[in-house]
């Protein structure tokens, strides 16, 4: 077998996917149904793969979220917690069985032309993902951790510290990697598959390993 180079499709996509009636449907749903009912409706069609299921998931996302741009694509099995705190840009793809865990007073902003792979997980209580980010299947963001204090209390019962996570423009996050709380991944950087990112990543850097370290700059020839 030989290595092949093919033209990117999603990253250059411009043609609309959604249908005009979906926004009218979303407005009606938002005006006539409670937040709880909308969440239940989304859960009921979460796993469907028919064209109508796909269209209704788009309509419900417009009704449930703070903002949703044009042509969002939501795969089967996607789970959203506190979608009312979430903003999505244009032409976002969310792969099958991804989970985005918000918080009632949190912030989750996902930019334009972002591709999120299947089975991704986001602790999205304070998360910003800028435009053109590629997020590998199974990759995760952890945005919070327990203090562990006092030590005579079970760790899971101690307070949570929430730290903002920022994924910069055009960053590429590898399969099964983990971004820890408070990390800023710089624009145009690459996080290698399986990496555990504990510190900020410079722009154009390539990082890999556990813990992740800079192995080169993409600017180097």
Confidence band of 14 (pLDDT split at 50, 70, 90): low
Same domain for 90 and 137, yes or no, is yes
The catalytic residue positions are 146
Mean pLDDT, rounded, for 142-168: 95
Q: Which residues, 6 or more positions from 163, have their beta carbon under 8 angstroms from its beta carbon? A: 126, 143, 144, 145, 181, 182
Cα distance between residue 92 and residue 111, in whole Å: 8
pLDDT digits (tens, 9 = 90+) for 21-69: 888 899 999 999 999 999 999 999 999 999 999 999 999 999 999 999 9
Residue 179 lies in a domain: yes
Looking up residue 117, the CATH number of its domain turns out to be 2.160.10.10
Same domain for 120 and 192, yes or no, is yes
Same domain for 110 and 213, yes or no, is yes
Domain count, the chain: 2
CB burial of residue 118 (10 Å; 0-12, 13-18, 19+): middle
What is the reported pTM?
0.89
Same domain for 106 and 206, yes or no, is yes
State the residue range of the domain holding 97: 77-217
Residue 52 lies in a domain: yes
């Amino acid at each position: 077998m030989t290595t092949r180079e093919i033209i990117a499709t999603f990253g250059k996509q411009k043609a609309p996917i959604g249908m005009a009636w979906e926004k009218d449907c979303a407005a009606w749903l938002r005006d006539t149904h409670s937040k709880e009912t909308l969440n239940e409706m989304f859960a009921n069609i979460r796993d469907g793969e028919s064209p109508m299921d796909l269209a209704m998931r788009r309509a419900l996302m417009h009704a449930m979220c703070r903002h949703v741009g044009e042509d969002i694509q939501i795969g089967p099995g996607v789970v959203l917690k506190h979608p009312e705190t979430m903003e999505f840009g244009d032409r976002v793809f969310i792969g099958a069985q991804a989970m985005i865990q918000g918080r009632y007073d949190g912030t989750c902003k996902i930019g334009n032309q972002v591709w999120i792979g299947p089975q991704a997980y986001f602790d999205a209580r304070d998360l910003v993902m800028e435009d053109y980010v590629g997020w590998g299947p199974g990759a995760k963001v952890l945005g919070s951790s327990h203090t562990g204090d006092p030590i005579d209390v079970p760790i899971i019962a101690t307070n949570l510290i929430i730290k903002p996570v920022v994924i910069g423009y055009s960053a590429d996050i590898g399969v099964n990697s983990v971004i820890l709380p408070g990390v800023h991944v710089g624009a145009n950087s690459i996080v290698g598959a399986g990496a555990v990112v504990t510190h900020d990543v410079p722009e154009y850097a390539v990082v890999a390993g556990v813990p992740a370290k800079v192995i080169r700059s993409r600017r180097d020839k």
